[in-house]
Chain A
C-alpha cells in the first residue's frame, strides 16, 4: 500500500518532468517495450526470460518469498487532521488559515442560522405543518468549512445532510422553507419530500433520496468539467453508510481511472439511521479505501471548521491542477435523530449525544475561537440569536401562508415536452376534479 502511494507520488511529480523523463524513472534495465496506451500508469515492461522480476501487467511490485497477509490497521488508523482543539485554540500556528474576520463571522453565522432553521423546521414537522424534516445538528462544520473552500461555481452533489453548503452560498430562507412546504415558491415545484433542495444558480444539484447515486454522477460531471477546461472542481458529499453502496465503489474507481477533478467528501457521523459504524464497515473507515483506488486521501476532524477548510482548499487546488480525485473523510457526530421519523434514543444513549453537543460541537469551538480573537462577544451573541430567530420565523410564517402549486404541475417535466398520452391523463384529472373536486384539498392549491 505504501509503495503504491509512493509510486503514485512519483508519477504525479513526473508530469512536470515530461513523458520521456517519466519513462526513464520507471524503466527497468534490460527490458523491451510493450505497447500500452497509458505509460504513466503502467510500467514499461520488457519481457525477458533471463530477468526474474515480475512481468504481470496487473501490479507494479516485487516478489516476496515469505507468506504473509497484510494486516489492516484499525487500532491505529489514519490520523485525524485538526487545526483547533476542542476549546477553539489553534494547535499548530502554521496550520492556521488566517482567515479574515468577515469570513470567519460568515462561517459562524451560516452555522448558527442553519441550527436555528433546523430547530424551527423540526418543530414544525412535530406540529404537522410539514411532512418530514432532517436536521444537521453537529455537522454544520463539515458543510461550512468545505463550502467556504470552494469557488461559488464549483458543482455540488449532496446526499441530504448538507444544507449548510447552500446556507453558506446564501440560499434564501424563503426557498429552504418553500421546498419543505412544497409551496408555490418552491423551485422544485413541490415534487419532492422536504430537504430535497436544489439550486441551479448556486450550482447545487437537486438532492435525491436513493443513497450514493450522486457519487458516479459527480464523477461524470467532473470529467465534463475537465474536458471543458472549466477550472472547476466537483464536490460530492455522502455519509459513511452510503459509502457501502456499490455506486460509491463505482464512483471512486471511475474518478481515479478517468482522472477526474473531484473531491469526495465523506461525512462520517457515526450512524446510518440506527446502524453504528461497527456494523457498517470493518476496515479503517472510508479514508483507508481511497489508496485502494489510487486516490489521495485524508481524514479530518469534521467538527473543526478550519481543518475542514484547509483540507478542502488544498484538495481543490490540486484536483483542478492535477486532474485527479481526492477523498476527505470528515469525522463528526450526528447529534440529531436521523430524521423526524426516527427516535435515536432507541439505539444510543443520551449521555453519548450530550457529550458531543456539549463538549465537541463545531459551533461552540468556532465561537471560542471568535471570542479569543475578540471578534465576538456575549452581546453580539444575544443580538444575533434574536435576529436569526426573527428571520427564520418570518420566512416560516410566509411559507405557511403561501398556496401549493397548481395540480397541473403534477404532469410537467416528466419529459422536456409532454407526451400526448400524458396530456390525456392530465385532462382526465381535470375532468375528474370538475365532478369530484370537493373531495380534494383544492383550496390550498394555486388556481
Chain B
C-alpha cells in the first residue's frame, strides 16, 4: 500500500541526499511541504490551484500548563511523542518511515534523542540501540498486529499508519482483535497501551487515497476510541490522553493542518479528556457540530450567519468520535432546537447519521427543524473536483439558512 506520486518522489530525493539524521538540511525541499503545498504554477489565474477552504483559527494561549511555544500541528505531535518517550521507558514509536522523521515530520529528531543504546541484550545485534523509534516493513496489518502484541505485554505502543486511507489492511486487527481483546479474555488480557496515529482528511489535492476520513468505519466498533483534534494545542493534549488511556485508541491527525495550524502550545505534557466534546462558542439559535478541520469551516459559517442572518450559533467540536459525548450535544440542542452536523466523509453511514439518530431520539420535542447533515457526497474522494466535493462554508451556510427558515 505505497503512497504513489509526489510523496514517493520526494522520499527518493531525500534518500539520495543521505537523509537520515540530516533532515534539517532539507527543510526547504522537505517532503511535507511538497505534499501539503504543491507549487502553484503562478501563471494563468484560471489555472492557479484553489486556496484552502478554511482559515485556521488559533485558540487563545493556554495559561494553565506552564510555558508555551509556537508550534504547528506536526510539531505539537512531535512534542507529545517526545513527552511520552521521556516519561515512559516502555514507549516505542513505529511504522513506515518514522525513523527519519516521518513523511509529515511528526517524528523528527526522536530517534536520535532517545538512542541510549542500553536496552537491547546483545549490543552487536542493534549497532546503534535505536530500538525506540524504528521503521517497520511496509505492511499495515503487520504494524497494527505488532503494536497489539507490544501492548499485550504492557508496554506502550504508538503505531503510525502513513495515511488513514491505508488503514484498511489493519481493519481486522483493529476491529476483531484490538477492540475485543479485553472483553473476549474476561479482562485477563488487553492492549490498552496501543495508540494508532494516522494523517486524515482532505488536503487540497489528495484524491481518493490521500484524503479519506474513515472514522465512521471505526465508530461501529465497541472497544476502541477514535479521537480527532482541531488544532495543535488540542492535538497534543488529546494524543497524550490517547497514549495514556487504558483502551486502544485511533488518533486521526488532519493533515491539511500540519503546517497551516499554528498556535501556542505548552511545552510540558498535559491532558485533554477523551469523550468530552467542547463548546467552543456559545449561541442560542442553532448548534453546529464538527471535528477536525471542519471545525474551522463551521466557525466561519457561524460568523457568516451572525453577520448576514443575525443568527447566534453554538459551535461544538466533538473531539472524540467514540465513545462520543451525547450529553453535551443534547444539552446544546435542547437549548437551540436546531442541529447541523458537518464532515468531509460521505453522507451515507457517516458519523453525522449516528449523531442525528441519537439526538432525534433524545431531543425530539425540542427540535424546531429536521437535523441537517452537510457532508461529502457518496462518491470516492475526487481529485480535480475536490472544491465541489467538500462540504465548504457555502454549503453549510445554505443548509443553516434553510434550517432557520424551516
Do B275 and A419 touch across chains, with their CB atoms under 8 A apart?
A: yes
Do B90 and A227 touch across chains, with their CB atoms under 8 A apart?
A: yes
Stretch at the interface among A115-123, A245-253, A362-370: A245-253
Stretch at the interface among A34-42, A80-88, A272-280: A34-42
Which residues of A, 353-384, contact B by the 8 Å Cβ criterion? Answer: none
Give the residues in chain A near B119, CB-CB below 8 Å: 227-229
Give the residues in chain B near A206, CB-CB below 8 Å: 181, 184-186, 188-189
- Interface size class, chain A: 35 or more
B70 at the interface (CB under 8 A from A): no
B172 at the interface (CB under 8 A from A): yes
CB contact under 8 A between A413 and B149, given known A208-B176, A213-B172 = no
A420 → chain B, closest Cβ, in Å? 8
List B residues at the A interface (Cβ < 8 Å): 18, 20, 90, 92, 99, 119-122, 124-128, 130-131, 134, 136-137, 139, 141-142, 144-155, 157, 169, 172-173, 176-177, 180-190, 192, 222-223, 225, 246-247, 275, 323, 326-327
Closest-by-CB residue of A relative to B323 is A419
Give the residues in chain A near B90, CB-CB below 8 Å: 224, 227-228
A412-432 interface code vs B (CB 8 A; 1 in, 0 out): 111111011110000000000
CB contact under 8 A between A213 and B145, given known A15-B124, A322-B125 = yes
Return the contact of B124 from the options A18, A229, A417 (Cβ within 8 A).
A18
Give the residues in chain B near A217, CB-CB below 8 Å: 145-146, 148-149, 152, 173, 177
Residue of B130, B145, B323 with most partner-chain A CB within 10 A: B145
A288 at the interface (CB under 8 A from B): no
Do A254 and B142 touch across chains, with their CB atoms under 8 A apart?
A: yes
Which residues of A, 47-92, contact B by the 8 Å Cβ criterion? Answer: none
Give the residues in chain A near B152, CB-CB below 8 Å: 205, 217, 220-221
A405 → chain B, closest Cβ, in Å? 9
Do A189 and B186 touch across chains, with their CB atoms under 8 A apart?
A: yes
- CA distance in complex: A221, B189 (Å): 13
List A residues at the B interface (Cβ < 8 Å): 15-16, 18-19, 22, 35, 37-40, 155, 157, 186-192, 196, 198-200, 205-206, 208, 210, 213, 215-229, 246-247, 249-251, 253-254, 257-259, 321-323, 412-417, 419-422
Q: Can you pick out 9 interface pairs between chain A and chain B where the beta carbons lie within 8 Å of each other?
A: A35-B18, A208-B176, A208-B180, A210-B172, A216-B144, A220-B146, A250-B146, A258-B134, A416-B246
Return the contact of A251 from the options B142, B172, B183, B190 (Cβ within 8 A).
B142
Do B120 and A208 touch across chains, with their CB atoms under 8 A apart?
A: no
Do B136 and A40 touch across chains, with their CB atoms under 8 A apart?
A: no
Do A196 and B184 touch across chains, with their CB atoms under 8 A apart?
A: yes
Return the contact of A219 from the options B149, B173, B181, B184 (Cβ within 8 A).
B149
Do A227 and B131 touch across chains, with their CB atoms under 8 A apart?
A: yes
Return the contact of B150 from the options A191, A200, A224, A321 (Cβ within 8 A).
A224
- CA distance in complex: A218, B177 (Å): 13
Return the contact of A35 from the options B20, B147, B157, B172 (Cβ within 8 A).
B20
- CA distance in complex: A421, B148 (Å): 26
B296 → chain A, closest Cβ, in Å? 28
Closest-by-CB residue of B relative to A215 is B145
Give the residues in chain B near A187, CB-CB below 8 Å: 186, 188
B117 → chain A, closest Cβ, in Å? 12
Return the contact of B155 from the options A190, A228, A229, A417 (Cβ within 8 A).
A228
Residue of B18, B146, B157, B222 with most partner-chain A CB within 10 A: B146
Residue of B92, B134, B177 with most partner-chain A CB within 10 A: B177
Give the residues in chain B near A413, CB-CB below 8 Å: 182-183, 186-187
Closest-by-CB residue of A relative to B275 is A419
A146 → chain B, closest Cβ, in Å? 19
CB contact under 8 A between A229 and B121, given known A223-B146, A414-B222 = yes
Closest-by-CB residue of A relative to B134 is A258
- CA distance in complex: A52, B181 (Å): 55
Give the residues in chain A near B192, CB-CB below 8 Å: 416
B137 → chain A, closest Cβ, in Å? 5
Give the residues in chain A near B92, CB-CB below 8 Å: 223, 227
CB contact under 8 A between A191 and B127, given known A216-B141, A220-B150, A251-B142 = no
Give the residues in chain B near A222, CB-CB below 8 Å: 149
- CA distance in complex: A200, B186 (Å): 11
- CA distance in complex: A208, B223 (Å): 15
Give the residues in chain B near A196, CB-CB below 8 Å: 184
Q: 5 tightest A-B contacts by CB?
A: A220-B149, A216-B145, A250-B142, A217-B149, A206-B185
Give the residues in chain B near A416, CB-CB below 8 Å: 182, 190, 192, 246-247
Do B173 and A254 touch across chains, with their CB atoms under 8 A apart?
A: no
Residue of B126, B151, B183 with most partner-chain A CB within 10 A: B183
- CA distance in complex: A249, B142 (Å): 9
- CA distance in complex: A187, B124 (Å): 42
Residue of A216, A218, A414 with most partner-chain B CB within 10 A: A216
CB contact under 8 A between A257 and B186, given known A18-B124, A213-B172, A220-B145 = no
